[in-house]
Structure 1
Amino acid sequence: MVTRRQLLAPALGAVIAASSIPAAFGKARLGEDGLYQFDWYVESFLDLADDLAAATRDGKRFAILWGLRNCPACRRMHEVYMADPKVEAYIRDHFAVLHLNILGSREVTDFGGSRLTEKRLAAHYGIIGTPAIQFFPRQADDLAARPPRDREVARMEALPAQDGFLALFQQVVG
């Protein structure tokens, strides 16, 4: 005869094993603003030149992730794509990610010193949907003199298939 203890032991073992996964992996939280956040996303004074310089000092690439409250693709990106420890670790180790709200009202200082709300900055760069990710060069040397779209080295304008998501980040690093 099988006891309840014997039946529940494998399930208990799985729970214990799952709890030993490092806390940083797959733990996006939904912020008060409705955007998903990871603890490793950039805490910023919203000055893009400073954020890019800090990323470069840390040996990382600077990227802006544009999101929106209740965005199904943003949710999928955070809860499925980035829940993969390999994907999250790669992005965390190689990128400084600033998460902005495409309709947000916080003031952001652009590379040339202009102060725009998140919403106006998104329009300035031609960001029209979420999630979108802008990838910037390692140096801000002449970014202010370039047209906004020419400041980027790559852009994700819509959520790709899951197998292409990590490949995009790897391409930018390479």
Structure 2
Amino acid sequence: MRILMAAALAAVTALPSLPVRASEMGDDGLYKAPWMRDTFKDLREDLAEANAEGKRLVLFVEQRGCIYCHKMHEEVFSLPDVSEYIGENYFVVQINLHGDTEVIDFDGESLSEKAATQKWRVLFTPNIIFLPEEVPENQSAIEAAVAVMPGAFAKGTTLDMFTWVAEKRYTLDNGEDFQRYHARRIRERNDGTFD
């Protein structure tokens, strides 16, 4: 009995971190993560609210039936360290690639979600658009973006991208392009110097 209990305890402690509550499916067929915000999709207002909370604004463009969105929500965004990092550092607004909800872009143009995503040249989902803390009035979201993450990626790449943006590595002062940053983080994880 003692051997079985010791084996069970060893098995439990050897498990990787278990996912947090998985995203739920909304009426629109899109996954709804606990850290996503339900806003009026006036991006200037969303940016102001994100800044007031000390967070970065990020747009998640997704679509119903997207197998890659499913993969990200079930296998990556549900991991505790990824979910916590996004929730603590980002103000996330979801945009439906084929949606009809009105979006007011930073340049003041009011259009449907599907027209906005066409304007932003989004072809694939998921497509994650990271915004700066200040956007000039004449720029659209895609023109102002500091980074875009098109497609589904594993935990390490995803967390590294969110961290790279949060640390403002894209600026000249902190200049470390994402590829070098990501390669360094992979080495650190492999060396055991970084979780």
Instruction: Say yes or no: does 1:169 pair with 2:162.
Output: yes
Which of these residues, 90, 115, 121, is aligned with residue 95 of structure 1?
Answer: 90
Which of these residues, 129, 135, 152, is aligned with residue 134 of structure 1?
Answer: 129
Change over 3 Å in CA distance of 1:36–1:148 after alignment to 2: closer
TM-superposed deviation, 1:147: 5.7
2:75 aligned residue: 80
Letter in 2 for 1:167: D
Letter in 1 for 2:23: A
TM-superposed deviation, 1:25: 2.7
Matched residues in 1 for 2:103 and 2:140: separation? 17
Offset from partner CA, 1:20-74 (integer Å, 9 cap, x none): x8xx933310001000002321110110000011001000000000001010000
Q: TM-score normalized by structure 2?
A: 0.74
Letter in 1 for 2:142: R
User: 2:127, 2:151 within 8 Å by CA — same for their partners in 1?
Assistant: yes
Aligned-pair Cα RMSD in Å? 2.1
Which of these residues, 139, 151, 175, is aligned with residue 146 of structure 1?
Answer: 139
Letter in 2 for 1:60: K
Identity %: 32
Structure 2 alignment gaps of length 5 or more: 13-17, 168-195
User: 2:131, 2:141 within 8 Å by CA — same for their partners in 1?
Assistant: no
SS in 2 for 1:145: coil
Q: TM-score normalized by structure 1?
A: 0.82
Structure 1 alignment gaps of length 5 or more: 15-20
SS in 2 for 1:134: strand
1:18 aligned residue: none
Report the number of matched residues: 155
User: 2:35, 2:86 within 8 Å by CA — same for their partners in 1?
Assistant: no
Offset from partner CA, 1:120-172 (integer Å, 9 cap, x none): 000111111100000000123x1x32365331000001112332111000000
Matched residues in 1 for 2:98 and 2:54: separation? 30
Offset from partner CA, 1:109-130 (integer Å, 9 cap, x none): 1112211100000011111110
Letter in 1 for 2:100: S
Matched residues in 2 for 1:146 and 1:46: separation? 16
Letter in 2 for 1:46: K
Change over 3 Å in CA distance of 1:102–1:172 after alignment to 2: same
